[in-house]
Amino acid sequence: MAERFTTSAARNIFYGGSAFFFIAFAALTVHSHFYMRNTSTDEAGLSESVVRGKHVWERHSCINCHTILGEGAYFAPELGNVWVRYGGDKDPEGARAALTAWMNSQPSGIEGRRQMPQFHLSEQDVNDLIDFLAWTSRINTQQWPPNTAG
Amino acid sequence: MKYATQRVAYVYFVGAMALFIVQVLVGTIAGTVYVLPNFLSELLPFNILRMIHTNALIVWLLMGFFGSAYYLIPEEAERDIHSPLLAYIQFWLFLFGGLAAVVGYTMGIHEGREFLEQPLWVKAAIVVVALMFLYNISMTVLKGRRTAVTSVLLLGLWGIAIFFLFAFYNPSNLAVDKLYWWWVVHLWVEGVWELVMGAILAFLMIKLTGADREVVDKWLYAIAGLALFTGLLGTGHHYYWIGAPAYWQWVGSIFSTLEVAPFFAMVLFTFTMVWKGQRDHPNTAALLWSLGCTVFAFFGAGVWGFMHTLAPVNYYSHGTQITAAHGHLAFFGAYVMVNLAMITYAMPHLRMRDPYNQILNMWSFWIMTSAMAFMTFTLTFAGVVQVHLQRVLGSTYMEVQEQLAFFYWMRLGAGIVVVISALLFVWAQLGPARVERPARATLTQPAE
């Protein structure tokens, strides 16, 4: 056994196997790419305001407190489904007003409660950001999260 | 130190240790915000603190990898580094880019994808740094002796640079963005970084135990193979809930479960080499860090990773403190400890002294590993409670977090102990030297 499993055999298995699994992974990634663009996300609804909203999200590094689709910093609530949590799927105007009021009222200053900074967003920034969060809530996430608490 | 140009590793190790201290200090501040939420909330909000904590970690680990490569490649290739000057320029450019990024974060200058927050020019500088580095070490290896250690190390380091290029691709479709974001994040830490780790451990085993190179080479290829065979498709465990097809739940669950294998192989490898070893190396602290590294990587990356990697479990645990617990112990066990092992081994040679301050170094080992284990346990318990209250019972996020305060206090305590142990480590490396050899090593080796 030890004689037959030579160093060069080990090396060849390593390079050959790695190449095989890399190609398999790359192929599945390409398939997933098209699945996302055609099936699981609302590519047609990816409007300019949603794209701008994603930049608002990134510019203020929201992900380093919140999570979105479970990825981020675990310090503040999940926002992938915040639109649904605020009832946006049933009453979009009400949810938009509530989210806007929430962001404008930060930081709460309440002693002992986690503080969200005031980012001084323009009215358009806020609306773009909400469009982005509403768009995100429509991604087919295989029914994740388990409930609206996120 | 056999080759004069190995000396360039010194600045890399000092820089790495300095950023290590920054990382754990800022981590403690962030841990304080968890229990005293109004602390610094206007001056340095939590998102800024966390960016500094994670980015400092990544930069210092890479700096340690660069230093390790510059230290071990001359001995493996049996020749001096191609251009020591380039290596020094690379160091200062990298340090400047890293510090500029951190200072910029405090002023609100950053991008917004997790771990890839560096402004575009810093990302470009990182690519330039990587090219200088790869050119330098590749030339050294190509002109010298080829070994399994240098082959696997080079592949890992080239992989780091190539997969980083996905950091420049930011599609406006969030799901597609996440799909490729993991090509940087996962393929680094659960892919090519493991090759670097395996190569460094193999080098340390050859030096510390006198293990037969033929045997080490086979182990190294087997470990590297297991890492990539499982780790590439194991990326699927990040694709469960981001809009990717459902088949990832099967692919990700199976292959990421197997990701435990390379870490278990590393435990078997290091302990077998020590058992069979022909050499009683006087630097026992370096051996302690090497063995501890594989054990903690196995538990942190392997066991704690497996705990929540199966799709039906992850459905409930995804994005909770369970993830935080795993992240902390995995990064510590695998990549922090392999760097500290290499620094502990190389520093006495770089400073041209005997192995020194070993007792203090070993104190640092036991305090740091205990505190990290404790931190992981507290976060794990917090995560279990969070999963039950939030994901099963449906309580709101903020209500649940209030229930977890006790765990966060204990985590902060553990964090403070980690800072103390990190300072002990740095003092053991850079402080005044004491000659501390184990008694048996003094007996078996001639006086110098």
Q: What is the ipTM of this complex?
A: 0.97
**Once rounded to an integer, what is the mean pLDDT over residues A85-106?**
97
Residues B323-332 pLDDT 10s: 999 999 999 9
Report pLDDT for B195: 98
Q: What is the pLDDT of residue A2?
A: 56
Residue B129 identity: V
Residues in contact with B31: Cβ distance below 8 Å, sequence separation at least 6, in sequence order:
B408, B411, B412, B415
- At B83 the pLDDT is 97
Q: Find the mean pLDDT for residues B342-349.
A: 96
Q: In 3D, which of B2, B91, B16 has the Cα closest to residue B341? A: B16
User: Which pLDDT score, from 0 to 100, does residue B49 have?
Assistant: 97
Mean pLDDT value of segment A3-12? 88
- Residue keyed to tokens 């966390």: B50
B91 has a chain A CB within 8 A of its CB: no
**CB-closest option in A17, A46, A68 to B172:** A46
CA dist B429 and B420 (Å) reads 14
**Which residue of B195, B397, B411 to mutate against A (max A Cβ within 10 Å)?**
B397
- Mark which residues 410-429 of B lie under 8 Å from A by CB: none
Mutate to test the interface with A, among B216, B242, B389 (most CBs of A within 10 A): B242
Whether a cis peptide bond, with omega within 30° of 0, leads into A117 is no
In angstroms, rounded to a whole number, what is the distance separating the alpha carbons of residues A137 and A50? 12
For residue A1, what pLDDT is reported?
46
Residue B439: the pLDDT is 66
Tell me: pLDDT of B238 over 50.
yes
Q: Tell me, what's the pLDDT at A3?
A: 66
Residue B433: its pLDDT value, please? 78
As a whole number, the mean pLDDT across chain B is 95
Note which residues in 48-77 of chain A have CB less than 8 A from chain B: 50-51, 54-55, 57-65, 67-77
Q: What is the DSSP letter of B238?
A: G
Instruction: State the residue for tokens 């991008």.
Output: B111
> Average pLDDT for residues B245-272, to the nearest whole number?
98
Tokens 């909400």, residue located: A130
Count Cβ neighbours within 10 Å for each residue of B125-137 and write b for 16 or more, e otherwise. Answer: bbeebbebbbebb
Per-residue confidence band for A146, with pLDDT thresholds at 50, 70 and 90:
very high
pTM above 0.80, yes or no: yes
Tell me, what's the pLDDT at B436? 67
Report which of B70, B221, B201 is spatially closest to residue B134, judged by C-alpha positions: B70
Distance CA B252, CA A147 (A): 23
- The per-residue DSSP string of chain A comes to -TTTS-HHHHHHHHHHHHHHHHHHHHHHHHHHHHHIIIIIS-GGG--HHHHHHHHHHHHTTGGGTSEETTEE-SSS-B-TTHHHHTTTTT-HHHHHHHHHHHHHT-----TTS--PPP----HHHHHHHHHHHHHHHTS--TT-SSSTT-
B269: nearest Cα among B344, B191, B349, B215: B215
Using a pLDDT cut of 90, give the percent of chain A over it. 96
Cβ within 8 Å of residue B193, ≥6 positions away: B156, B160, B334, B335
pLDDT(B172) > 70: yes
Average pLDDT over residues B314-320: 98
Q: How far apart are CA A59 and CA A72, in angstroms?
A: 15
Residue B176 in contact with partner chain A when CB distance is under 8 A: yes
Nearest CA in chain B to A71: B319
**B95 — phi, psi (to 5°)?**
-65, -45
What is the average per-residue pLDDT within A99-125? Answer: 95
Distance from CA of A83 to the nearest CA of B (A): 15
Share of chain B above pLDDT 70, in %: 97
A15, two tokens: 């390079």
Q: Which chain A residue has its CA at the smallest distance from B233's CA?
A: A25
User: Tens digits of per-residue pLDDT, B3-22?
Assistant: 999 999 999 999 999 999 99
Cα distances (Å, whole numbers) of residue B411 to A104, B28, B35, B38, B421: 33, 9, 10, 18, 15
Q: How many CB atoms lie within 10 A of CB A17?
A: 16
pLDDT band at B440 (very low <50, low <70, confident <90, very high): low
Residue B446 has pLDDT above 50, yes or no: no
pLDDT tens sequence across B96-149:
999 999 999 999 999 999 999 999 999 999 999 999 999 999 999 999 999 999
As a whole number, mean pLDDT of residues A3-9 equals 85
Rounded distance between C-alpha atoms, residue B69 and residue B158, angstroms: 12
The whole-number pLDDT of residue B252 equals: 98
